[in-house]
Amino acid sequence: MTVETHEFQAEARQLLDLVVHSIYSNKDIFLRELLSNSSDALDKLHLEGLVHPESGADLSDLHIRLEADPKQRTLKVIDNGIGMTREEVRNLIGTIARSGTAEFLNKLREGQDQGASAEMIGQFGVGFYSVFMVADRVVLETRRPGQASGTRWESSGEGTYTLQDVEGPAQGTVITLYLKPADSEDGLADYTSEWVLRDLVKRYSDFLSYPIRMQVSKGDSTEDATLNSMKALWARPTDEVKPEEYHEFYRHIAHDWMDPLETISMKGEGTFEFQALLFIPSKAPLDLFMPDARRGVQLYVKKVFIMDRCEELLPEYLRFMRGVVDAQDLSLNVSREILQQDRQIRAIRKGLTRKITATLKEMKEGRPETYRTFWNEFGRVLKEGLFREPDQQETLLDLCMFPSTDSSEPTDLADYVSRMKPEQEAIYYLIGENRLILENSPHLEAFRQKGYEVLLLQDTVDAIWVEQVADFQGKPFHSASQSSLELGSEEEKKEAESRLEEQRKELASLLAWLGTRLSEQIKNVQLSSRLTTSPACLVSDADDPSPTMEKLLKAMGQELPPVKRILEINPTHPVIQRLHALYSEKGDDAFLGQVAEMLHAQALLAEGGELPDISRFSHNLVDLMDRALG
């Protein structure tokens, strides 16, 4: 039959190149990847056979077989699972469909992003490509049950592969590796050796639930042996399972190449029985915030695999969790639609959520270092729960950590509250893009003077939850950049107010003039007692969205009328005083107009904002420099 030659998709080729030539010192893992794929293929067939007995799939002896030939230097990995159609071979093996791949590859190649480590490559479904670390040529033959002919795929991993229809391969998939010579310096073991294979299966794939068989020597003859124990890990008592076994299992289900940060094993008893084995990854996947991200855990029913990425089992703010849930009483036939309304699923979800948050709490209190890692990777996601699941607010607020003006390490809210000044009424926060901008913001001046701590919020979700969460332990959250903010005791506030009252009278003409002059940019002008060293700052009216929120709403496609803010000026600042003197003397003119505009621009820049008209700003700046230089 005709042989077609195809090129790997460009991204697939790059990934292949990386896998083969540069990254992995541990070549052995190719076997884990192949066995993992075979096990998935058997799972899929098993389920299809149970749900559609008419499909003609043969479920009688689902297994994986290894055949090694030391003379020919070949290794075959054979399964009688679901196989692939010709189209699937092309799509699954020749291309990489995951979003963000190109971007990730660039980062990895240029070595700019510390986060984009070689280990993360596993996320892109490159498992199969790892065969080219150990083989110069690979042949894959596969047939779906029920189809008359199968497909043969062959490649040496260098840009192209061939495809051809073939008659008669058995149901499932046979992968033949033409092995490179064993070379211990290069990390290549002899993958035709019985002992090497036994050892690798034990190490990486012992828990797979189908037998992995091989002909082994026994005295002078040979016999068939099963190399793995096939024990479902989640069903075994935790004290019998070694951490490495859990880790291997995690890698199998999460397609991760790193160890998990935390393993959580639980048994749900009562009305609905279930067992769960969950993992917190040690690193956030690149697509955590992408809409089509892989998320959810695997669902089993009485040890039969039902589906991958069952989203209904966990709330969205726990979407980073990986693992397995085995429910006792669900039907094998469950569909996604049923899952969404199922009482049992809801009960399981509640139980899992409770267990996960309790584990996090325990980690936060007992292992702060580990918790810090967790929070850095997944805190942004967890905070989504603050507004997505109001009944979890209290639990989640306890878990939150925030950077603050008082320390370089993030603080939790309980500690913040314990440091509050006696007369301090609220928990203060400031939202902005990064710590540097926030720390230099004029909004903090009054807080510094009073010695009040301010949370420095820098994640996009912060702008959302602060509007939804009323308080923590009875203390309300207040933005440090909101108008009419007065700090201090009642007495101090009164004092400040009467001082302002006087200054307001004195500067009335300046306030009125600035208000008109800048009416296109701002809502109005107020005097402020919050500023010490800056001449002015911008604040939001209590009912208006904050600038971050405004940006967010716009990014989500909402039409918003422009939100004008309030310019607060510092009556004691020399610039304001001189401006007032000049204005009183000469009245409005072009030069003072420029100063007014610069005052507004400077306030915007100081909080890290963007100037609406940069050319006008730079024009003003040059004029003013010219004037200052005489």
CB of 453 to ligand ADP, least distance (A): 46
CB of 438 to ligand ADP, least distance (A): 40
64 vs 455 by CB, closer to ligand ADP: 64
98 vs 530 by CB, closer to ligand ADP: 98
Under 8 Å between Cβ of 430 and 481: yes
Binding ligand ADP (rule: CB under 6 A), the pick from 28, 33, 194, 206 is 33
192 near ligand ADP (CB under 6 A):
no
79 vs 206 by CB, closer to ligand ADP: 79
Residue 258 token pair:
């790193």
Under 8 Å between Cβ of 94 and 12: yes
Which pairs with CB-CB distance under 8 Å and at least 24 residues apart come from 264-268? 264/323, 264/355, 264/356, 264/359, 265/234, 265/238, 266/351, 266/352, 266/355, 268/347, 268/348, 268/351
41 near ligand ADP (CB under 6 A):
yes
Residue 91 belongs to what H/E stretch? none
CB of 84 to ligand ADP, least distance (A): 5
Residue 612 token pair:
């609406």
Q: Which stretch binds ligand ADP (CB under 6 A): 124-132, 355-363, 501-509, 613-621?
A: 124-132
Under 8 Å between Cβ of 37 and 127: yes
The 3-class secondary structure across 417-441, one letter per residue, is HHHCCCCCCCEEEEECCCHHHHHCC
CB of 38 to ligand ADP, least distance (A): 5
Binding ligand ADP (rule: CB under 6 A), the pick from 38, 392, 458, 534 is 38
CB of 83 to ligand ADP, least distance (A): 6
Binding ligand ADP (rule: CB under 6 A), the pick from 8, 30, 128, 402 is 128
14 near ligand ADP (CB under 6 A):
no
126 near ligand ADP (CB under 6 A):
yes
Interface of this chain with ligand ADP, residues 65 to 84, rule: CB under 6 A: 79, 81-84
The contacts of residue 376 (CB under 8 Å, 6+ apart) are: none
Pairing of strands 454-457, 427-431: parallel
d(CA 121, CA 107): 12
92 near ligand ADP (CB under 6 A):
yes
Residue 630: burial class (beta carbons within 10 Å; 0-12, 13-18, 19+): exposed
39 near ligand ADP (CB under 6 A):
no
Q: Which whole-number Å values give the CA distances from 329 to 313, 333, 344, in the listed order?
A: 15, 12, 8
Q: Which stretch binds ligand ADP (CB under 6 A): 20-28, 119-127, 191-199, 309-317?
A: 119-127
45 near ligand ADP (CB under 6 A):
no
CB of 210 to ligand ADP, least distance (A): 12
599 near ligand ADP (CB under 6 A):
no
Count residues binding ligand ADP (CB under 6 A): 17
Under 8 Å between Cβ of 228 and 245: no
CB of 42 to ligand ADP, least distance (A): 8
Listed residue (3, 181, 16, 146) closest to 94, CA to CA:
16
Q: Read off φ and ψ for residue 130, nearest 5 degrees.
A: -65, -15
Residue appearing with tokens 């047939």: 143
d(CA 170, CA 66): 15
CB of 246 to ligand ADP, least distance (A): 20
125 near ligand ADP (CB under 6 A):
yes
CB of 551 to ligand ADP, least distance (A): 36
190 near ligand ADP (CB under 6 A):
no
Q: What is the contact surface with ligand ADP in residues (CB under 6 A)?
A: 33, 37-38, 41, 79, 81-84, 92-93, 125-128, 173, 255
